[in-house]
Amino acid sequence: MRAVILSCTLKASPEPSNTEALAKVVSAELEKGGAEVEMIRLVDHDIRPGVTANEGKGDGWPAIDARLKAADIVVFATPTWLGQMSSVCLRALERMDAWFGETDDSGRPVAFGKVAGVVVTGNEDGAHNIVATVCQGLIDMGFTIPGQSWTYWHLGPGPGPDYSETDQGHDYSDRVGRNAARNLIAIAKAITPETYPVPESGE
């Protein structure tokens, strides 16, 4: 079983990311459940704006897209800015718009048989809105979203320490993150592309 975590931090490597710190809690539990996990920090790649699978010479998205299509589990990990997902997270979703026009050899949408979850960090509220928005797009593509397949951490409105600078709230966020990983593993094992009937010719 393969899992890909898309790190949508705005910080380029090797700068530490609070979002990745919480995502690693989910990653560790996914690995414990038998998944091979890869985390991709998107800002380290030249991902062009657009809604196609390949936006031309130098576009870093096609290689990432191929890894997503090879995965059974996809997790979006994003910070919160102005109460919204990061621009990097939105760009990834925009590029995945191309999945709507793609099918497997049996004619099923390429996202069928895949599960997805969300990790959110930030000092402002907005986590539930981000989870809802990201999941809606993924559901439209054909992903299966298990119950409680998300976790978040924030200290409410206004300035304050980041996830990596305080232990406040970690018990809840880490516990929910581990549960999210278990749910993702369980549902990924329960569904496969073979679960979905092959369309009749012409459908």
Give the integer Cα–Cα distance in Å for 81 and 17. 14
What pLDDT is recorded for position 105? 84
DSSP three-state, residue 83? coil
Is 65 buried (19+), middle (13-18) or exposed (0-12) by CB count in 10 A? buried
Query: What is the four-CA torsion angle of 156, 115, 2, 33, rounded to 10 degrees?
Result: 70
Q: Whole-prediction pTM value?
A: 0.93
Tens digit of each residue's pLDDT (9 = 90 or more) over 62-109: 999 999 999 999 999 999 998 899 999 999 999 999 999 999 888 889
Tens digit of each residue's pLDDT (9 = 90 or more) over 8-43: 999 999 999 999 999 999 999 999 999 999 999 999
